[in-house]
Amino acid sequence: MKLIHKGKVKDVYEGPDSEDINSKDKLIFVFSDRISAFDVIMNQEIPEKGNILCKFTDFWFKHLDASNHMIRVIDKNKLLVEKLTMIPIECIVRGYFYGSLVERFNNPNKTKSNHARSILPPNFNPVLASKLPYPIFDPSTKSQDHDVEISKKQIISSNILSEKDFEYVKDKSISLYNQMNKIIENSGFIISDVKFEFGFNKRGDIILGDSVGPDEFRLWKKDLYQEGRIQDSYDKQLLRDWLIQMGYKKKVDEFAIKGKKPEPPVLPLDLINKISQRYIFAYEKLTGQKYNNHFPTFDY
């Protein structure tokens, strides 16, 4: 296979030639066990993560009411997809006051933008992890280095999307988040936020692309949820929280001023195993399907 792009956690290859597949129109996604946080790839991998991400993407693409670019799963961590002209924004939908939204809301001068406040309801006085009155669309740029917020005005003026296409991806993203909520609500989880990516197919239609899994959304257990505090997560937020506690996030911000990234810390084995087990646990609870692997699953 010819490598086309090596991402933070996913590698993209040119699709194979066969009687029914033209390599020019197809790609192969290979989901690795790599994990990143704050736009830095960690040196250690998370066992089974690539397989779980592939299975999650297969599940969501089959259950969400939206055209997507998936053709079929061709291996435990490989997905054959239709090649799209990707729209260079991350379509983030937030249902709770959490993550980067909190930092941007509380420190608008740091980002030199009032965007976080402008997309929230007027006179909104949020509490950490509180449910928002309605899901909000909070797009960002897509970058290998550092994603930043981007407004509707910036997207349209930069000719990334027309106003009509912007409204389409906004409405579709919120619709997909609501669909995921309905599917997840009986699994004992809460989906705090999610990131979608869209692209134009060869017919010029905008369809759902990339992948949908724990690297793209935050999951909290309903029975442990309590607003006003950091939530116990079943996604890679577990890694982010550990890095913040270790002071690594502060170091990332300091290096970013110089246009650099710090060397990632060594992850403890118990954290690596816990992340792996939680990905597996979330998959089994959400899909109702047993994941056969050599790691035991625990009800954390």
pLDDT of 196 higher than 70:
yes
CA distance 279 to 46: 10
The pLDDT of residue 23: 63
Domain boundaries, the chain: 3-84, 86-273
pLDDT in tens, 134-151: 999 999 998 655 678 999
CA distance 233 to 39: 19
Residue 152's SS3 state is: helix
Which CATH architecture group holds 86-273?
2-Layer Sandwich (3.30)
The answer to whether 261 touches 243, Cβ cutoff 8 Å, is no
The pLDDT of residue 147: 72
The pLDDT of residue 202: 94
Q: Lowest-pLDDT range, 42-51, 107-116, 159-168, 280-289?
A: 107-116
DSSP string for residues in 178-229: HHHHHHHTTTTEEEEEEEEEEEE-TTS-EEEES--STTTEEEEEGGG--TTS
The pLDDT of residue 205: 98
Question: 143 versus 232: which is more confidently predicted?
Answer: 232
What is the percentage of the chain residues whose pLDDT exceeds 70? 92
Which residues neighbour 144 within 8 Å (Cβ) at sequence distance 6 or greater?
7, 8, 39
The pLDDT of residue 108: 75
What is the percentage of the chain residues whose pLDDT exceeds 90? 76
Residue 43 carries which DSSP code?
Answer: S
The pLDDT of residue 22: 55
pLDDT in tens, 71-108: 999 999 999 999 999 999 999 999 999 999 998 888 87
The pLDDT of residue 57: 97
Q: Lowest-pLDDT range, 69-78, 116-125, 207-216, 249-258?
A: 116-125
Torsions phi, psi for 135 (to 5 deg): -65, 135
Helices (H), the chain: 49-63, 100-106, 108-111, 115-118, 152-157, 163-184, 237-245, 248-257, 269-287
Binned at pLDDT 50, 70 and 90, residue 173 comes out as: very high
Partners of 196 in the beta sheet?
91
CA distance 245 to 266: 14
Which CATH architecture group holds 3-84?
2-Layer Sandwich (3.30)
pTM: 0.89
The pLDDT of residue 296: 41
The pLDDT of residue 145: 58
Averaged pLDDT score across all residues of the chain: 90
Spacing of C-alpha 250 from chain mean position: 22
pLDDT in tens, 181-195: 999 988 999 999 999
The pLDDT of residue 144: 58
